[in-house]
Amino acid sequence: MDVDLRELERRVKRDPSDENARLSLGLALFRAGKETEAREAVRPDSREGYSALARAALGEPALGPLLDVAHEWRSSGGDPGCTRWSKALPVTRPRTAWRRRIEGAHAALALSVDRGRAFVLVQAPGKTMELVALSVISGETLWRFPLGKGPAAAPAACNGVVYEAGLARSVETGHLHVTHALTGSSGKKIWDWDFGLRDARLHGAVTLSGNRMFLPISNTSRGSSRAPDPNEHVAFLFAMDTETRGRAWDHICWNVGSEVACFGESVFVPVYEAPLPRGDRLACLAATDGRRLWSANGTSDRNCAASSAVVSAGAGRVTCRELSGAERWSTQGGSETSLCFDGARVLIGRANGFIVRDAERGREISSWQTTESPLPYLPKGTVQAPPCLRSAVCAQDLAYLASPLSPSISAFDVRTGRLAWRHKIEDMLVPEEGPRLRWPTVEAGEADLGPLHLAPLPGMIFGITLSGYAFLIEESPSS
């Protein structure tokens, strides 16, 4: 074994660009119990290292921990803070690696990526929901898990475990809203737990932070309508302890958004409080026990938390606050369609306009106009609404925008506002058979045919469409 290791080390030293030698060395070191050295050899944050390791982990799931340091998209917001701003190596010369329709899927609604596997929430025939695991590298279906009829949560995954919630009725209690923890490699159920609710409500997105799993559940369309009775509690934020596998605490409010953002020991929740005129507020809760630490006025349909600040957007107003709640700055404009935050920069999308601001003082860094802009959801009863927000996403200094009306993706440099590239995915992404679900953006508008959600990965972009397609964009090799 030592002789083989030394030979692999010599090969890598002679040619550092030999990715096959690097992968072989990394696997040999990992199997020898040298995990830190193995990561340094494989370089899972490079496109080549990530791709090779993700492919190898399909056949040998024990290699999965080597991918834990890679910048993957582990929840609908990308990370616990829902920043939608990845540190992954951006794509600078795009090409389509593969595209395919997910078999048996009438719609793809949400996704997360962990250890080289993409976990996609799909609507199947009969309006049943399923969680489908795909290989990011090849697109092949690895396993499926049924979630029952009705709204299901956007999944989150970490350290080889994927968390999901759906309306499958508990056999033991008869309750709805069951949370599942599944092994990412096989889809085998590790445990499940029911919330004790007998009536159907809308799920939001699962967020993972430390040993806590957070899930908002509401009676009403997320953030867009109010309960007729202002004294009726219709929304809950459930916090589960993933180690003890039980409820840690819950927070009751009049309404709650589709995602919660976490940073450190704080959880930022968009709430609507009765009695009037308290209205829309941003609440900061303690992650450990749910105590309210502070709250502030203002609509907060979207929240991003990173570094020393939390950024909220809603009803045309974007506000940047210290984690203590003190306001730094705010701007007023049209309805927000995108919000991303890397701790130092804030990307704000309103209709066709985008602006990047300094997080400290709010000064403008760059701006641009484009017709390729995520549009707000306006479902017309054709398909279950996605349980998470749509938005532009960022990877380092590039912002990726997906056109909702055509299968194309654009990248803009957030430092200058200049177009970096535009990539068209060949062929319209609509089903060849089965129902052709449409999602009009306005009553007389075109159907929503473009990419629905994008997940930046090292030198790659994984994406899904409302029509049930998945695809991978990757960096073209240097000529």
144 domain residue, yes or no: yes
Phi, psi of 213 (to 5 degrees): -115, 125
The answer to whether the beta carbons of residues 449 and 405 sit under 8 Å apart is yes
CA dihedral 375, 376, 377, 378 (to 10 degrees): -100
pLDDT, position 411: 96
Phi, psi of 190 (to 5 degrees): -90, -50
Instruction: Please name the amino acid found at residue 164.
Output: E
362 domain residue, yes or no: yes
Say how far apart CA 66 and CA 40 lie, in whole Å: 10
Say how far apart CA 280 and CA 50 lie, in whole Å: 42
Question: Domain boundary at 39, 67, 95, which?
Answer: 67
Q: Which two tokens stand for residue 382?
A: 């054709």
165 domain residue, yes or no: yes
Domain identity same for 262 and 402: yes
Say how far apart CA 209 and CA 133 lie, in whole Å: 22
CATH at 280: 2.130.10.10
Q: Which domain holds residue 245?
A: 85-475
Domain identity same for 211 and 298: yes
Looking only at the bridges linking them, the beta strands covering 176-183 and 161-166 are antiparallel
Q: How far is CA 45 from CA 51, 476, 478, in A?
A: 10, 17, 18
Domain identity same for 90 and 22: no
How many CB atoms are closer than 10 A to CB 42?
29
Domain identity same for 32 and 110: no
79 domain residue, yes or no: no
Angle of helix 19-31 versus helix 2-14 axis, rounded to 10: 150
Domain identity same for 28 and 158: no
3-state secondary structure 262-291: EECCEEEEEEEECCCCCEEEEEEEECCCCC
Q: Which residue, chain included where needed, has tokens 């910048």?
A: 71
The answer to whether the beta carbons of residues 65 and 114 sit under 8 Å apart is no
The answer to whether the beta carbons of residues 444 and 424 sit under 8 Å apart is no
pTM for this model (two decimals): 0.91
Gyration radius (Cα) of the chain, Å: 22
Domain identity same for 274 and 346: yes
151 domain residue, yes or no: yes
Maximum alpha-carbon separation in the chain: 74
pLDDT, position 405: 65
Looking only at the bridges linking them, the beta strands covering 128-135 and 117-124 are antiparallel
80 domain residue, yes or no: no
Q: Which two tokens stand for residue 262?
A: 């976490």
Tens digits of pLDDT across the chain (479 residues):
566 777 777 777 777 777 777 777 877 787 777 888 888 888 889 898 899 899 989 988 888 999 999 999 999 999 999 999 999 999 999 999 999 989 988 888 899 999 999 999 998 888 788 999 999 999 999 999 998 887 889 999 999 999 998 876 555 554 456 788 999 999 999 988 877 766 656 778 999 999 999 998 876 544 333 444 545 556 788 899 999 988 899 888 766 778 899 999 999 988 876 654 445 789 999 999 999 999 998 878 889 999 889 999 988 899 999 999 999 999 998 888 899 999 999 999 988 899 999 999 999 999 999 877 665 544 443 345 678 888 899 999 999 998 766 678 999 999 999 999 999 887 655 555 444 454 444 444 455 567 889 999 999 999 998 878 899 999 998 75
Number of folded domains in the chain? 2
Domain identity same for 56 and 105: no
The answer to whether the beta carbons of residues 370 and 360 sit under 8 Å apart is no
18 domain residue, yes or no: yes
Question: Domain boundary at 67, 94, 116, which?
Answer: 67
Domain identity same for 122 and 219: yes
Q: Which two tokens stand for residue 40?
A: 């340094």
How many CB atoms are closer than 10 A to CB 48?
19
Domain identity same for 379 and 408: yes
Domain identity same for 242 and 341: yes
Q: DSSP letter at 53? A: H
Closest listed residue to residue 35, CA positions, set 67, 6, 4: 67
Domain identity same for 45 and 133: no
Q: Which two tokens stand for residue 47?
A: 């496109």
72 domain residue, yes or no: no
Domain identity same for 110 and 255: yes
